[in-house]
Chains A and B, each alone.
Chain A
Amino acid sequence: MNTLFREKKANAKKIMFKSIDEYPEVPITLGTTLSNFTGDWRNFMPVVDESKCIKCYICWKFCPEPAIYIKEDGYIAVDYDYCKGCGVCANECPTKAITMVREEK
């Protein structure tokens, strides 16, 4: 899986308890938020035009999720499972290589 969190994402799962005996003694967390796919919050999706991308990684730097990762070829990609569609990446991209496209649901 070519994402930022790799096996951590793959291993992330929803945790639910059916009986009191399964609960820990204290409210300490037992998993990560990676099981929560926030991508369905999105109205606009960032679409990357690699022909314009200069690999400056400014979008990667400013993603608050983070949902932007760097592929092996050095171009960036978006993990749409998490991207909430805020548009910061598109706004900050110096070459306008990212456009926000309304998503049909």
Chain B
Amino acid sequence: MELPADVKKRLTLPAEEHFYAGHTACQGCGAALGLRYVLKVYGNKTIFTIPACCSTIIAGPWPYSAFNAPLFHTAFETTGAVIGGIEAALKAKGYKVKGEDGIMVVGWAGDGGTADIGLQALSGFLERGHDGLYIMYDNEAYMNTGIQRSSSTPYGAWTTNTPGGKKHFLERKPKKKVIDIVIAHKPAYAATASVAYPEDFMRKLKKAKTIKGPSFIQLFAPCPTGWRAPTDKTIELARLAVQTAYFPLFEYENGKYKINMPSPSKEPKSLEDFIKLQGRFKYMTKEDIQVLQEWVLSEWEELKKKAEIFG
């Protein structure tokens, strides 16, 4: 669609759509929005690999695809290995990978497929230095199988296998910091991003396409269905996660950490603003919320220190 020039000027994202409507994501799905952004930025010359996750369904049941780009559906734990294989084949066959006109190789996996079952293959992908991008879209549980906890589920969250009860709630483990595990590999580029800040995400995607070596982006993608939140709060929740420092935006490159605005410049907002919009946290007492709040702030302090020392 050709838009008038004055309209195009005001758009902060590319006008082209390579993600087709009619897909079967739930209402207000953060993951679907994330896919729309990735396809907008990278366009058609991108090979996607998607393991078992919500996006298996979002991408379209056979014979329909929601992607205007090639996509390989693969088994749960294999994303890192498959994108490594694709990249190897492209190299062997003499294709240009990455760069302005090169082919982009993208793995798009959920938090379960990344933090849990796919961690080994992710590590292999990073360590071997494949020229691709691994995106973990983080909705903090196994949503496609019906909301079970993953190691990326936060302390206190209700899921179907960590239910809240009259006496207890079962999820008492803090969220696994996959990005820290990734950075331990010293990849070419690693970053966090959020669907609430698509311009920041776009910049990071562009960076991943120009830099040589493996990149990783952890994209915060709220799931109204699994978080027991109203469907219109997706962006608000993602924004609050950043503003409360629950999910700060930062990037890592060449051994250096950089916290990205709009992460809090002064005091983060109270975590309660983020929690109260979500039914999944309703079993938490005031003390429980305090536990989570303290964890958030201590992680935030640690990140700020890293940015200071390795900035």
List of B residues within 8 angstroms of A60 by Cβ: 11
Return the contact of B7 from the options A5, A6, A8, A74 (Cβ within 8 A): A74
List of A residues within 8 angstroms of B20 by Cβ: 5, 8, 32-34
List of B residues within 8 angstroms of A33 by Cβ: 20-24, 60, 64-66
- The winner among B17, B64, B68 for most chain A CB atoms within 10 A is B64
Return A82 CB to nearest CB of chain B, in Å: 4
- The winner among B27, B28, B236 for most chain A CB atoms within 10 A is B27
A94 an interface residue at 8 Å Cβ cutoff? no
**Chain A window 1-44, contacts with chain B (Cβ cutoff 8 Å), 1 for yes, 0 for no:** 00011101000100100000000000101111111111001000
* Interchain CB contact under 8 A, B64 and A32: yes
Known A-B contacts A5-B20, A32-B65; the reply to A64 vs B32 at CB < 8 A is yes
Q: Looking at chain A's contact residues, is the secondary structure mostly helix, strand, loop, or mixed?
A: loop
B211 an interface residue at 8 Å Cβ cutoff? no
List of B residues within 8 angstroms of A12 by Cβ: 22
B228 an interface residue at 8 Å Cβ cutoff? no
Return A102 CB to nearest CB of chain B, in Å: 14
Return B139 CB to nearest CB of chain A, in Å: 13
B4 an interface residue at 8 Å Cβ cutoff? yes
Interface residues on A, range: 35 or more
Return the contact of B22 from the options A37, A57, A74, A100 (Cβ within 8 A): A37
List of B residues within 8 angstroms of A35 by Cβ: 22, 64
Return the contact of B28 from the options A37, A74, A86 (Cβ within 8 A): A86
Known A-B contacts A5-B17, A86-B27; the reply to A100 vs B64 at CB < 8 A is no
- The winner among B1, B4, B233 for most chain A CB atoms within 10 A is B1
Return A13 CB to nearest CB of chain B, in Å: 10
Could you tell me the distance between the alpha carbons of A90 and B230 in the complex, rounded to whole angstroms?
Answer: 13
Q: A33-B64, A57-B10 are in contact. List 14 more A-B contacts (CB 8 A).
A: A29-B62, A33-B24, A38-B23, A38-B24, A61-B13, A64-B30, A65-B23, A65-B32, A66-B17, A87-B232, A88-B231, A88-B232, A90-B232, A91-B232
Task: Supply 22 A–B pairs (Cβ within 8 Å), ascending by A.
Answer: A15-B64, A29-B65, A31-B63, A33-B65, A34-B20, A35-B22, A35-B64, A36-B22, A36-B64, A41-B27, A57-B7, A61-B11, A64-B28, A64-B30, A65-B23, A65-B32, A87-B28, A87-B230, A87-B232, A88-B28, A88-B232, A88-B234
